[in-house]
Amino acid sequence: MIKYDKYKPSNIEWIGEIPEYWEETLLKYTLDDIICGGTPSTNNSNYWATDNNGIPWVSIADITESSGNLYKTGRKITIDGLKSKNLKIIPKETLLISIFASLGKTTTLKINASVNQAILGLVAYRKLNKEFLKFYLNYIEYFIGYYSSSNTQENLNLNKIKNLPIVIPPKPEQTAIANYLDRKTAEIDELISQKQQLLKLYEEEKTAIINQAVTKGIYDNKDGDGGKDARQCVFTSNPHSSTQSRVSYKDSGIDWLGKIPEHWELKKIKHLCYVKGRVGWKGLKSSEFLQEGYSYLVTGTDFKTSRINWKNCYHIDKGRYEEDPYIQLENRDLLITKDGTIGKLAIVENLDKPACLNSGIFVVRSLLKTFSTEYLYCILDSNIFKKFNSYTSYGSTIQHLYQNVFVEFAFGVPCIEEQTQIVQHIETETALINTKAEKTKKLIDLLKEYKTALISEVVTGKVKVI
């Protein structure tokens, strides 16, 4: 790409110089109309449609989910609702922009619709290419905070939108720029989509590795004299032995588990572990959560990559800590969330002072030297635990893991040496995948940065595309 022949200074600090023949103006001089929105009373059921015959009504969430082109809305209003706020039906192909909370988000309306008060419809002037305007507004989203009012949250108003600065080339050049950016951003978006799909495949690969290891063990795929369920054993309890035995499988009798190696035992959580949640803390209030104090208070929001980020923990005083000895934590404890997002896991390590639990978490403590906390972590991180939750939820929409149900969770348990090898195998294999995933995430970030930079350079005339 090349530069324009001559440039001139603009009056916009964050744009700088623009091509000499480009015009610098205000948004209000480039538009035929700006259409405002509103929200009918939510207490009047006559204003809100419950079927497909209503008028689509656009919210900020609809814009955020639209990916640049809005084809549907989460809610619809009636004619009475429309009249109650004197709302207009905005024609499709109108450009929408958000002015509250998520400032400057834009999308193209692909249906006739009304909008709420946090959104404006921008009807482009006949001398302004709508797609060029959309790319320009995508660019200034990063600077639009300069024009916002900050009280409880950032917002814009109609007057501020009207007076947003804009630089524009002649319309044929606007069209060429819009076409170029349409093509180039579509190419970048396709690359990003491919990389995001690759991340999903990496996650699926990790899940498959964990599920295979904790249900079938780490054996090769060679069939032998033992029939289709017999495989060569990679594990040996004697690390100096070169002998590899045959391993057969048996039916566990459990729907979510299936077959397990014949020499594994079938155990439940209650056979192996101590499980407790917070009880007895009457009236504990968030005002008692301290920045510093006698004891850490683990809430689940402080879980990070299978460990606890102690720096992010709240604290409580000694009296509150001593109220419930059953949930006073020890190193090597396994924690699992039981409310809301079920199954977030963390292992307690590096305790430098007392710690205990808030509600919403179970502490799970191995009672046997022959049972590994890390192996249990892998089990609870696998699909068999997710399947167990599905089998025991009975269609409930309330996300909660009950202790009397959790302790009945059953799975296959090999000897401690094999548990260790399974954990090491999972850690090694998933670490390799995580390394590839991190590289892919960095590439996605670079592609997104390149897309932003490209739009910026082109719509402000820093580079010439025709």
Q: Give the pLDDT of residue 397.
A: 54
Over the stretch 176-225, which tens digit does the pLDDT of each residue have? 999 999 999 999 999 999 999 999 999 999 999 999 999 999 976 554 33
Gyration radius (Cα) of the chain, Å? 30
What is the bridge-based pairing of β-strands 410-413 and 265-268? antiparallel
Distance of CA 411 to the CA centre of its chain: 30
DSSP3 helix / strand / coil % (the chain, rounded to 5): 35, 25, 40
Per run of 10 residues, the mean pLDDT along the chain (length 466 residues) is 92 92 93 92 93 91 92 95 94 91 86 94 88 92 68 64 92 96 96 97 96 89 45 48 66 90 95 88 82 93 88 93 92 91 91 92 94 96 90 66 93 96 96 97 97 96 91
Closest CA relative to residue 420, chosen from 164, 235, 260? 235
Give which of 371, 377, 416 is closest to 235, Cα–Cα: 416
Tokens of residue 106, six digits: 């834009």
On whether the CB atoms of residues 95 and 128 are closer than 8 A, the answer is no
Own/partner long-range contacts of 431-434 (Cβ < 8 Å, ≥24 apart)? 433/202, 433/205, 433/206, 433/209, 434/206
Q: What are phi and psi of 31, to 5 degrees?
A: -120, 145
Integer CA distances (angstroms), 117 to 66, 145, 443, in order: 18, 19, 38
From residue 40, how far is each of 73, 381, 433 by CA, in Å? 15, 46, 50
pLDDT given at position 152: 44
Q: Do the bridges between strand 75-77 and strand 303-304 make them parallel or antiparallel, or are there none, so unpaired?
A: unpaired
Work out the number of other CB atoms within 10 angstroms of the CB of residue 11. 8
Chain position carrying tokens 């656009």: 58
CA gap 439, 294 in Å, rounded: 41
Residue 177: exposure state from Cβ atoms within 10 A (0-12, 13-18, ≥19): buried
- Reported for 241-250, long-range contacts at CB under 8 A and 24+ positions apart, including other chains, are 247/217, 247/219, 249/216
Nearest CA among 132, 58, 128, 44 for reference residue 96: 58
Tokens, residue 70: 């809005």
Strand ranges for 269-396 from DSSP E: 273-277, 295-298, 303-304, 307-308, 314-316, 334-337, 345-347, 355-357, 361-366
Q: Are 249 and 266 in contact (CB under 8 A)?
A: no
Task: Give me the pLDDT at residue 124, please.
Answer: 85
Residue ranges of domains in the chain, CATH in brackets:
23-168 (3.90.220.20), 265-413 (3.90.220.20)
The Cβ of residue 284 has, within 10 Å, a number of other Cβ atoms equal to 16
What b/e string do you get for 311-329 counting C-beta neighbours within 10 Å, with b at 16 or more?
eebbbbeeebbebbeebbb
